[in-house]
Structure 1
C-alpha cells in the first residue's frame, strides 16, 4: 500500500457511498481522510474506513496524507473546494459540474495549470459499456456518416426522493446543469466537441414540495429554469437536439439517438454504466441489440477517478477537467442563448477522450468477473 494513491473525500452526502463502494478495497487507492460540514458524518465515515481520519475541510485540504481530493460537495461549493485543494498542491477530482459558473471553472483550471496539479471531473458513467459500445459502433461505420442526434431527459424532479433537494433548484442546479453533463459528455464521445448552441428555457412552478425524509411537505423555491431545450452544432457539422426537464413525468424517447446515412443507433441512459445499444441499419426491418464491445464492464461510480489516478501525467484522463469545462460552457451557453434569444458560439473545445476497450471488472478493480 506504500504506492497507493492517497485520497481525501470532502462531502459525505448520498453519492459518497457509491464512490466508497468502488474505492474501498482497491489495491491502488487508500482513503486517508474524510470531511463534511456535518462533523457527525465525518466521524461515522472514518469509523468505517480503517486508516482514515475525520478532519475539518480546511485540515483535509492541507493534510500531507492526501494526494488527491475527491470533491463531492454541492455544485455551489465545487470551485471553492477545488481551488483550496490546488492551493495546497493537491490533485482534485470532483462531481459534475466542474463549477457553478464558467468563470469559476476557468479559474480552477488556470490555478491547476500554474500549480502543476491535475483536475478531473465526473461523469464517468460514459466510460461504461453502454456509451462506449455505441461509440465503437459509430467509429466502426455502422451507421455511416453521422447526420444528427437527439438527447432527451425528462423527470418530475428529484424532490420526490431526495431529503434535501434545495441545491437542485438554486444556482448551479436545474435539469441542464444537473443531468446535462451525462448527455453532453456522451455526445462529445460520440460526435466530438460543440462549436455553437441555440437554447430556450422556462420554469413550470415557482415552488417544489419535498416528498421524503424529515422535511417532507416543506416547500422550497425554484430559482432556476426547470426545462431547457436547445440545438447543438458540433464541430463536425452534426446537429443535436437536446431536452432536459424537471417538468415532465416520463418519456418513451430514447435517451440518445444518433442517425447516420446508413443506420440509426439507440444509446442507453448515460446516467448508467451499462444498458442495451440498438442498431437499425438501412434495409433492416427491425432494431437489433449489439453485444457489449467496449467500456468498463460492471462499471461503478469512481471508475473515472481510478482512470484519472492511473493516468499519472502520461496521458489525458478520460474524465478530464478540460472536457468538463467544455461541457460546462456548452450548458451555460445554452442558458445564455435562452436568456438573450440568440445563437452563441463557444470559446472552448475539447479533445475527444480515448475510447475504453472492453475491460472486465477483474482488470479495473480486481473484482471477480
Structure 2
C-alpha cells in the first residue's frame, strides 16, 4: 500500500496540512517541525505527488524559462543557477525555446499550465509580454526588457564597465575603434551602444560608420563582422563586441585571417562567461554577476506568484572591466 502524507503526519506527530506546508518550506512552519517531517518522509520513503499539490493549491509550481537558441553559450550558463534557485524555493524549471513563429510562443507557454515565466529573449516586437500580461500569467524580464509592458526585471548596467574599457583602450593608444553591435531591436544592444558611444565621446572619439557592424549575438556574427572589418584599407585596432559569444567568433576570424591577437587587433567582449578566463582565450571583457542575476530572476518570479500585488522591482547589476590577454597597445603602422 502506498505511503501517504497522512502516514507522514502520524509519524511526525503533526497534522496533514502541516506536512504539506513543511514540504513546501513554508516559513510559517518552524525549522524543528520541518526537520521532523523530513525525518518521517525519509523513514517511510514518502514521495509527494505533484499533481495532488497542484490540485490543492491551484498551482503547478512550474516556472518556464524562455530562451532563443540552446546552442548559444550565454543561455547554457544561466540555466543551472536559475534551476538551483527555483528548486530551493520549491519550484520546477521548464525550458522553452522560441521559434521563428513568435505569435505562438505565448500560447504555448500558457498552454503548459505554468505558474510564471522568465523571459530571456525579449525584443521590441515580442508579443509574449503582452499576451502573458493579458492572460494574467506572471513573468519576469531577464537581461532584456520591452517598453510595451512594465514588469519585474533583472538587467545589466553597461556604463561602468564600458567606460573603464574605453578609457583603458584610449590610454593604450587606440583611436580606430570598431564595434560589432547586437540586434538593434534588443534593449541590451541599445544600452551597450549608448554606453560605448558616450564613453568614446568623453575622449573626443566616435564610432565611425565604416567601423560598425550589427548582427545576432552569436559566433557567426562575430566571425563575419570581424572578417569584414579586417578587410578594410585601414581596419580598426580594437573591436568592442556585443557579447563574449560574438567575441569568440571575432577571435576565430582573426586567427583565420592570420592577424595576431592582441598584436594585430585587440578584442573586447561583454558578459565574462566562464570560458572567457580560460588560458586558451584570455578574453578581455566586461563582467557582472551573471549567476546572481539568474538567481535574482528566480526570486522575482516566485515573489510575483506568491505576492501578486507586490510593487514592481527592477534589479540592476553593475559591470566592471576585466583586462586579460586580448587587449594591448596598437601596433605601429
Structure 2 length normalisation: TM-score? 0.39
Larger helix share, 1 or 2: 2
Where relative contact order (Cα < 8 A, 6+ residues apart) is larger, the structure is 1
Q: Flag the structure with higher strand content.
A: 1
Which protein has the larger Cα radius of gyration, Structure 1 or Structure 2?
A: 2
TM-score by length of 1: 0.36
